[in-house]
Amino acid sequence: MQIKETGIEGLKILIPDVFPDHRGWFMEVFKSNLHSEINSSLPFVQDNLSFSKKNVLRGLHFQKPPHSQAKW
């Protein structure tokens, strides 16, 4: 994730890393531990976004602690 200053006080541009492959792409839109310098008072933890090409089926992956993530 890149964070760019805009020249306007308090306004920043967030540029997420996009991870493409033959199925489509995936990116972490927001991750609180990476954005703490922007606003540490947000109760929101993480947001991901993916795009799948035609005929691609994606699933959720189970993760055991200490690397577990809630899936909603």
Distance in angstroms (rounded) separating the CA atoms of residues 60 and 68: 12
Is residue 19 in a domain?
A: yes
Q: By residue range, what is the domain housing residue 39?
A: 2-52
Is residue 70 in a domain?
A: no
The model carries a pTM of 0.59
Is residue 69 in a domain?
A: no
Is residue 61 in a domain?
A: no
The pLDDT tens digits for 10-60 are: 888 888 889 999 999 999 887 776 656 665 566 667 788 889 999 998 877
| Residue tagged 């994730």 (tokens) | 1
CA dihedral 9, 42, 30, 60 (to 10 degrees): -170
Q: Which pLDDT score, from 0 to 100, does residue 22 have?
A: 94
Q: Domain tally for the chain?
A: 1
